[in-house]
Structure 1
Amino acid sequence: MTAELVRGQNHPLSQARLEIRVSAGTPIVAAATIGDEQGKVHGAEWVAHPGTPTLPGLEVSRQAAADHRLAVDLDAMPDAVHRVTVLLALPDADAPARFGAVAAPFVAVTGLDGTEIASFTLTGLDTESAVVALELYRRQGAWKVRAVGQGYAGGLADLFGDQDLPGAPALAAGIHQAVARGLARSVPAPPPSAADGDRARQPAAPARGGEHGGTAPQGAHGPVTPASTYGAPGASDGPGQPGPHPSAYPGAGSADPAGPEPASGSPVDYSHPRRQNAAPPPPPPTAPPAAPGQPAQPVAGDATGWSMDERLYNQVWGMFEDLARTTAAYRSAVDFAESRMDKELDQVLSDPRSRIGGQGDAAREAARTRHEALVDRAREALDRDLAQLAAEADVVEPALPPAYARWDNPVWHGYRLPMEIPMALRLGDLRLPEAERIRVPMLVRLPLERGLWIDSGRSGSLDGSFADSHELRRLALETAVAHAARLLAVYPPGEITVRVVDPAGSGAQALAPLVHTGVLDAPPAAGAAGVAEVLARLTERVDLMQMAIRGGAADSLPPGLDTAQQLLIVNEFPHGFDDRAVNQLRYLADEGPSVGVHLMMVADREESAGYGPLLDPLWRALLRLTPLADDHLADPWVGHAWTYEPPLVPPGSQVLQQVLTQVAEARRSWNR
């Protein structure tokens, strides 16, 4: 039976291998310290945090997330360790900056099978931005858990200082820097769903994420994970952007003028009486009913949503999360089987009587047999889930609209200019090594709330063997052109403008589809003077838009100002850029998305390293993508390293040229 703890209450722990599951309403940083018998933390090497996620018997998440799983093995703790303290903090650059503005974090101590041992809800927090959630401590050879809930308004620096940890401010700053570095590799989480239960699939078995740690609580499935407030597309609507999708505020509306007057003194109900208070249920399945005992046949668009686009978007995110969790369950089961076999073999070797002879051989063979049986059962469960996901992918992929579809999807052959901006855009595919056949579309919400960095360095190759730097640069720019073409194709005519900066003129071949079809308002800017002119114009646009929005005078913008969304493609950075231009790029990356200015960098991260600290904020503000398959992205639930595949146009295909030609003709008609 689960013990629901309150502050100061403790509970005995009967298991050594544990998981500490954290669930919060916003991305948080999870860390832990180990202390001696007096509780003293002797230095930074006694702290597990995203920059140093593992200590003996302890592993924490490598990134900030709304949900975490911390792995603890009390038997593996050094003899000098008598206390493990679990810490939670809000990211340094995140908002809100206090726990009182978000849902109370929930912490649970569970066994490896997911059974809760003790739980604690951290209520009563206000201005605190860091908190000691709970501690595991050893008394007379037995371990217990105690609910703490001690908060610190000064953040991690004050928390570490209270523990008399030397160099507390520097350690806290290092943790936040590690979290910021991890942002560039995170796939943005989807925005909150309007209703739970939109995925009929069973949740994956309890698991700890492999290398990267951190996953959502058991049973959370479908795209219901709270969106990251520091970069998740669709998480919030910035000034000047279109309002949220209707599903974000399902009960919003105005009172029916024909409705009855409210009673005197009673609260006014502003919801529309004919609108549901939640997103509509998924449409009835059109597939034939499944045979008894067999899984239901997958149907495209069976998730919750107001439109087919939204249902497909939610379904894709549900598939992404399901694949992450079922793979985490398999990896956790294999890890448990190997750990159990190692422990049994150690016991055999520790007994001198069983080291030699038939008795020892039999014990070792029995341990290996049990290990194989556990792995086989885990693989069987994984194969069953993967078969269902593969069947769903086979149904969903052909039904996707152009914004979500691959370039080889037949939907592009019947392409027509859209009348409104879609919910999201496909930036490529994601896959895991356990499920090579399944490709999950990587969708991000529109308008983009984060720019893109197309890395043209050697790190873009999965095995690092792609040595031709010139070919890599060409592929990187072609990838950027494919992304830009897709953006132009899914926006209504006149609602997005693409500008290109190519200081050395080296991208003429790759940029030809944009230049020759006439979708660009101006030729690519060349030389340092061209770079300065384009950056000055876009920086001025951001300033004017922000002043107009903040002053509530949007109608006072200068006549002729292009108020369409702006996409700036920067090629061959840092060639042609001085410190002033780099600072302008940083400004556009930070402030531009809120007023419709988006940045797409095509550059080699290693070659750009000479800018040092000046470049780091720009790198962290953008989502890194690659022109070749690379396993650099992590999901927001478990933190798996996903292989990213860019959305390249099939060799010999004319689909991109045909689409851009239609876009150019529509732009010319719109401008007349």
Structure 2
Amino acid sequence: MTAELTRGQNHPLPRARLEIRVSADTPVVAAATLGDENGKVHGVERVAHPGTPTLPGLEVPRQAAPDHRLAVDLDAVPDAVHRVSVLLALPTAGTAPARFGAVAAPFVAVTGLDGSEVASYTITGLEAESAVVALELYRRQGAWKVRAVGQGYAGGLAALLGDQDLPQAHQLAGDIHEAVARGLARSVPAPPARTADGDRARQAAAPAHDPDLGAAAPQGATGSVPPVSPYDVRAASGPQTSAAPGQHGTQQPHPGGPGEPSADQSSAPGGGGPIDYSHPRRRNAAPPPPPPAAPPAAPGQPTRPVAGDATGWSMEERLYNQVWGMFEDLARTTAAYRSAVDFADSRMEKELDQALSDPRSRIGGQGDAAREAARARHGQLVSQAREVLDRDVAQLLAEAEVVEPALPAAYARWDNPVWHAYRVPMEIPMAVRLGDLHLSEADRIRIPLLVRLPLERGLWIDSGRSGSLDGSFADSHEMRRLGLETAVAHAARLLAVHPAGEFTVHVIDPAGSGAQALAPLVQTGVLAAPPALGAAGTADVLARLTQRVDLVQMALRAGAPDALPPGLDTSQQLLIVNDFPHGFDDRAVNQLRYLADEGPTVGVHLMMVADREESAGYGPLLDPLWRSLLRLTPVADDHLADPWVGHAWTYEPPLVPPGSQVLRQVLTQVAAARRSWDR
């Protein structure tokens, strides 16, 4: 029976291996400290946080998120530890709230590995506090208990850690927030909220909950909802096709959905067609149920996968949700496997230490037998964990083989036959594919990296040397060429998935070094103007785009979208910046930072092709710029983190197959459609 605790209450813990689950209304940082019987923390090595997530018997998440799972093994914590304090803090990066009083009360629960709840606590009464000690697991007369604490600190993490007598409290608090900022910079955009697991016809095989297999992370946790852009402009005289429920284009009032904006609520500048300032995917009603599942498999066999078996308004949305479901399933089943292997390693190490420390084991063959037994148990645990992983991976692989051919052009690889039947779309898709992700434990599975449209953060194509094998043999000149070719492939895809006239691309190439890589965009005529060269060209493009951001922001804040100047291009804008920081003065750098921060909310997006090390001459001035962009690489590299458990995924860019003309053919159609639209 679950104990619902109030502040100060305690409850006995029936087992040593537990999970602590955190649910909040906003992304929070989760950490934990190991203290003595008086609660004192003896050094930073006794604090588990996103920068150092693992301590003996304790593992915390690596990044800020609305939902967390902390793994605890009380038998594995050092004997000197008598208190394990669970800490929550609001991150300082981004637009996070500054105090817990501005959001819903956080909820924490202590559960077994099978998900059974032992005790729960809703942390109420917080106001100006930005950090809180949520729970305390403490040792009393040889037994462990949990106490609801709820002690908040208006001074944040620094004040909280200082209250636990940690001498380096301020420095450690800064290190934690720095680690969180780095995690946000490398994390892929979080998906929208997923439906309940019971609504999904397809479920990966659940990991076994053997007590010796480690903390198997439950599948199907709800992901966080990305921030919604308030700005989505339809071109003044572009196609205005009505969208059925679930289709994404010009938004029409949904039957039974009050609050949906009508298409005639505002007028275009200069008296043209309508401009819709609503987000095209905001819904006020529940989506329809998923399509009927495939016939049940034979007894003892896994369910046969079906493309589009997730919930959604359309097949496009169902496939999007299904891909994100596969992404989460693979992340969590791999986390369960790694946790089981870590547990097996620590258990074997502990058993070997005990065998070596016992003088009796040095007589005869008792010591050798104990070591062999420890290694045999280790091998058995790892083998069992691998069997579970292989079973889950096999089912996900079968699903990937069904889903990949069914993907629409916006989600498909360049080698997918769907591109050979390409036609310029009439509606903006839900998302776009920016590459593939995979893990070493499941190298055969490629998960499409789908990012919602309109883009909510810019892109940074890192042309610097990477640590991957693919990039280790390329010199700096080759990496810059590959970086710009990758940017062109991304820009071509973004142009291809938008209706005619609803996406405009600008290019800044100060030294003209990217002429060869930019040829597909220039020769097909899809650019708004030739690439800007030199300081004068750079200044002109940046001035026009920053002015556009200012004008639209003022119009939106004043509630007067019809006050925009006549002739203003209301399409989404993408600026490709090559070879940064060469040819950019301080004013241009500040304008780029402004576009990166403010542009996405008003339809102006930035794509930087740059080597971060080459910009080191600016010092820390550009750090906020890099962190505001999603880093992608022109070669395979392990640098992106998932939004659930923070694995380092190998990212592969969406390059066009060698010798293929598909990109030029698609861009030729895009250019022809734009010319027809302009007329």
Normalising by structure 1, we get a TM-score of 0.89
> SS at 1:664's partner residue?
helix
Q: Please name the residue that 2:230 is paired with.
A: 238
Q: Give yes or no for the alignment of 1:205 onto 2:207.
A: yes
Q: Please name the residue that 2:51 is paired with.
A: 51
> Map of 1:391-406 to 2, 5 A cutoff?
391-406=398-413
Q: Which moved more, 1:532-541 or 1:123-132?
A: 123-132
2:635 alignment partner AA:
L
* Deviation, structure 1 residue 96: 3.5
Q: Please name the residue that 1:440 is paired with.
A: 447
* Deviation, structure 1 residue 162: 4.3
Q: Please name the residue that 1:225 is paired with.
A: 223
Q: Please name the residue that 2:415 is paired with.
A: 408
Q: Please name the residue that 2:239 is paired with.
A: none
- Indicate how the Cα distance of structure 1 residues 364 and 165 shifts in structure 2: closer, same or farther if over 3 A, else same: closer
| Equivalent-residue separation in structure 1 for 2:552 and 2:144 (angstroms) | 59
1:341 alignment partner AA:
M
- Indicate how the Cα distance of structure 1 residues 370 and 48 shifts in structure 2: closer, same or farther if over 3 A, else same: closer
| Equivalent-residue separation in structure 2 for 1:369 and 1:429 (angstroms) | 38
Q: Please name the residue that 1:323 is paired with.
A: 330
- Residue in structure 2 matching 1:383, options 390, 410, 416: 390
- Residue in structure 2 matching 1:506, options 504, 510, 513: 513
Q: Give yes or no for the alignment of 1:175 onto 2:167.
A: no
1:56-75 Cα shifts (integer Å, max 9, x gaps): 54432221112223334445
- Residue in structure 2 matching 1:593, options 581, 594, 600: 600
- Indicate how the Cα distance of structure 1 residues 135 and 602 shifts in structure 2: closer, same or farther if over 3 A, else same: same
> SS at 1:666's partner residue?
helix
> SS at 2:555's partner residue?
helix
| Equivalent-residue separation in structure 2 for 1:399 and 1:100 (angstroms) | 46
Q: Please name the residue that 1:38 is paired with.
A: 38
Q: Give yes or no for the alignment of 1:132 onto 2:113.
A: no
2:90 alignment partner AA:
L
- Is the 2:471–2:635 Cα contact (8 Å) retained in structure 1? no
- Is the 2:65–2:224 Cα contact (8 Å) retained in structure 1? no
- Indicate how the Cα distance of structure 1 residues 641 and 163 shifts in structure 2: closer, same or farther if over 3 A, else same: same
| Equivalent-residue separation in structure 1 for 2:586 and 2:330 (angstroms) | 44
- Indicate how the Cα distance of structure 1 residues 245 and 427 shifts in structure 2: closer, same or farther if over 3 A, else same: farther
Q: Which moved more, 1:51-60 or 1:605-614?
A: 51-60
* Deviation, structure 1 residue 483: 0.3
- Is the 1:23–1:105 Cα contact (8 Å) retained in structure 2? yes
- Is the 1:203–1:219 Cα contact (8 Å) retained in structure 2? no
Q: Please name the residue that 1:652 is paired with.
A: 659
- Indicate how the Cα distance of structure 1 residues 359 and 56 shifts in structure 2: closer, same or farther if over 3 A, else same: closer
| Equivalent-residue separation in structure 2 for 1:175 and 1:112 (angstroms) | 28
- Is the 1:528–1:577 Cα contact (8 Å) retained in structure 2? yes
Q: Please name the residue that 1:477 is paired with.
A: 484
Q: Please name the residue that 2:577 is paired with.
A: 570
Q: Please name the residue that 2:21 is paired with.
A: 21
Q: Give yes or no for the alignment of 1:67 onto 2:74.
A: no
* Deviation, structure 1 residue 558: 1.3
Q: Please name the residue that 2:257 is paired with.
A: 253
| Equivalent-residue separation in structure 2 for 1:246 and 1:327 (angstroms) | 36
| Equivalent-residue separation in structure 2 for 1:555 and 1:663 (angstroms) | 29
> SS at 2:173's partner residue?
helix
> Map of 1:100-111 to 2, 5 A cutoff?
100-111=101-112
* Deviation, structure 1 residue 166: 4.5
- Indicate how the Cα distance of structure 1 residues 193 and 48 shifts in structure 2: closer, same or farther if over 3 A, else same: closer
Q: Which moved more, 1:594-603 or 1:73-82?
A: 73-82
* Deviation, structure 1 residue 250: 9.2
* Deviation, structure 1 residue 108: 2.6
1:22 alignment partner AA:
V
Normalising by structure 2, we get a TM-score of 0.88
- Indicate how the Cα distance of structure 1 residues 581 and 255 shifts in structure 2: closer, same or farther if over 3 A, else same: closer
- Is the 2:113–2:215 Cα contact (8 Å) retained in structure 1? no
| Equivalent-residue separation in structure 2 for 1:142 and 1:462 (angstroms) | 50
Q: Please name the residue that 1:260 is paired with.
A: none
* Deviation, structure 1 residue 101: 4.3
Structure 2 residue runs of 5 or longer lacking an equivalent are 235-242, 261-282
- Is the 1:214–1:638 Cα contact (8 Å) retained in structure 2? no
- Indicate how the Cα distance of structure 1 residues 512 and 640 shifts in structure 2: closer, same or farther if over 3 A, else same: same
* Deviation, structure 1 residue 280: 0.9
* Deviation, structure 1 residue 40: 2.9
Q: Please name the residue that 2:267 is paired with.
A: none
> SS at 2:437's partner residue?
strand
- Residue in structure 2 matching 1:284, options 261, 276, 292: 292
| Equivalent-residue separation in structure 2 for 1:307 and 1:487 (angstroms) | 21
* Deviation, structure 1 residue 175: 2.4
| Equivalent-residue separation in structure 2 for 1:289 and 1:226 (angstroms) | 32
* Matched-pair identity in %: 81
2:462 alignment partner AA:
D
- Indicate how the Cα distance of structure 1 residues 56 and 343 shifts in structure 2: closer, same or farther if over 3 A, else same: closer
Q: Please name the residue that 1:185 is paired with.
A: 186
Q: Please name the residue that 1:298 is paired with.
A: 305
1:591 alignment partner AA:
E
- Indicate how the Cα distance of structure 1 residues 346 and 568 shifts in structure 2: closer, same or farther if over 3 A, else same: same
Q: How many equivalent pairs are there?
A: 639
| Equivalent-residue separation in structure 1 for 2:535 and 2:664 (angstroms) | 30
Structure 1 residue runs of 5 or longer lacking an equivalent are 208-212, 257-274
| Equivalent-residue separation in structure 2 for 1:460 and 1:454 (angstroms) | 15
2:290 alignment partner AA:
P
- Is the 1:16–1:74 Cα contact (8 Å) retained in structure 2? yes
Q: Give yes or no for the alignment of 1:521 onto 2:514.
A: no
Q: Please name the residue that 2:89 is paired with.
A: 89
Q: Please name the residue that 1:118 is paired with.
A: 119
> Map of 1:593-672 to 2, 5 A cutoff?
593-672=600-679
- Is the 1:542–1:591 Cα contact (8 Å) retained in structure 2? yes
- Indicate how the Cα distance of structure 1 residues 357 and 4 shifts in structure 2: closer, same or farther if over 3 A, else same: farther
1:483-508 Cα shifts (integer Å, max 9, x gaps): 00000000000001000001111101
1:40-92 Cα shifts (integer Å, max 9, x gaps): 34555543322333445443222111222333444554455432221111212
> SS at 1:403's partner residue?
helix
1:259-317 Cα shifts (integer Å, max 9, x gaps): xxxxxxxxxxxxxxxx99521111113x4542122222111111100011000000000
> SS at 1:323's partner residue?
helix
- Is the 2:461–2:487 Cα contact (8 Å) retained in structure 1? yes
* Deviation, structure 1 residue 367: 2.5
- Indicate how the Cα distance of structure 1 residues 608 and 255 shifts in structure 2: closer, same or farther if over 3 A, else same: closer
- Is the 2:57–2:74 Cα contact (8 Å) retained in structure 1? yes
- Is the 1:497–1:564 Cα contact (8 Å) retained in structure 2? yes
* Deviation, structure 1 residue 611: 1.5
- Residue in structure 1 matching 2:429, options 422, 430, 446: 422
| Equivalent-residue separation in structure 2 for 1:523 and 1:102 (angstroms) | 48
Q: Please name the residue that 1:261 is paired with.
A: none
- Residue in structure 1 matching 2:321, options 303, 314, 317: 314
Q: Which moved more, 1:406-415 or 1:184-193?
A: 184-193
| Equivalent-residue separation in structure 1 for 2:185 and 2:508 (angstroms) | 23
| Equivalent-residue separation in structure 1 for 2:423 and 2:392 (angstroms) | 37
- Indicate how the Cα distance of structure 1 residues 104 and 559 shifts in structure 2: closer, same or farther if over 3 A, else same: same
- Indicate how the Cα distance of structure 1 residues 40 and 342 shifts in structure 2: closer, same or farther if over 3 A, else same: closer
* Deviation, structure 1 residue 466: 2.5
- Indicate how the Cα distance of structure 1 residues 54 and 337 shifts in structure 2: closer, same or farther if over 3 A, else same: closer
* Deviation, structure 1 residue 204: 4.1
| Equivalent-residue separation in structure 2 for 1:452 and 1:576 (angstroms) | 20
- Is the 2:509–2:577 Cα contact (8 Å) retained in structure 1? yes
- Is the 1:60–1:214 Cα contact (8 Å) retained in structure 2? no
| Equivalent-residue separation in structure 1 for 2:259 and 2:652 (angstroms) | 48
> Map of 1:521-540 to 2, 5 A cutoff?
521-540=528-547
- Is the 1:31–1:49 Cα contact (8 Å) retained in structure 2? yes
> SS at 2:562's partner residue?
helix
* Deviation, structure 1 residue 155: 3.0
Task: Report the aligned-residue RMSD.
Answer: 2.9
| Equivalent-residue separation in structure 1 for 2:476 and 2:215 (angstroms) | 36
| Equivalent-residue separation in structure 2 for 1:466 and 1:194 (angstroms) | 45
- Is the 1:112–1:206 Cα contact (8 Å) retained in structure 2? no
* Deviation, structure 1 residue 239: 3.7
- Is the 2:219–2:329 Cα contact (8 Å) retained in structure 1? no
